[in-house]
Amino acid sequence: MARGKTTGAAPRIRNFQLPDLEVGTIEDLLGGGYVEVLHFTGFDQSLLDLTDGRLEDCLLSEMNIGELSMRNARYIQCEFKQLSAPILEGAGSTLNDVRVSHSRFGSADFSDSSHDSVVFEHCKFGWVNLRTAQLRDVVFRDCSFDEIDLQLVKAQRVKFENCRTGALNVERAGLSSVDLTGLEIEQVQGIEGLRGALISEQQLISLSREFAAHLGIRVMD
């Protein structure tokens, strides 16, 4: 009997289109208040503090920010394009129906955050921290990472497409329908945390020594 191919459930990305936007100013962004239907572009700041803010139906584009703080902020139907931020502080943030594209981040801290129907596309990350985050219906497409930290994450219907990472930490992760077949992985830590993920046969072969070490199997050359 031929074996069926198990793929798991694909991410359910909700499409949205931004309305006509007016141009926003830096003053509109600051203060931690509610902001809607504005386009912010061209900012060059050493620090942009959006802590506790709420943005809905907004576009942020072509920005160079030394440190971008999004702690405990909420973003609903927003787009981020061509952002550069060596430091991104997004702990505790909430992203619902968000698209991020053609952007570069050094360290990106999304610990304890919530992502629902989010797409990252053509982005470059150094270290991305998703510890204790809640991920549901998330796609990473054509992205590169130095390290992905998924310790204690709860992830459902997450997919990587044409991505690569130097290191992946999945210690005590809770994965359900997480498709890693499109993620080139050099090293995995906490390999038991891959339970609930989909990997390719080639990935299984390349990670065989990690699996053997986890199971206490000695491998002879």
> Which of 171, 170, 57 is CA-nearest to residue 180?
170
Q: What angle do CA 108, 112, 116 make, to 5 degrees?
A: 85
- Answering whether pTM is above 0.85, one says yes
pLDDT at 205: 77
Distance CA 207, CA 209 (A): 6
pLDDT per residue over 56-94, tens digit each? 999 999 999 999 999 999 999 999 999 999 999 999 999
User: Which residues share a beta bridge with 76?
Assistant: 56, 96
**Torsion 187-118-14-80 (CA) sign:** negative
What whole-number distance in Å separates Cα of residue 126 and Cα of residue 153?
Answer: 19
Length of the chain: 221
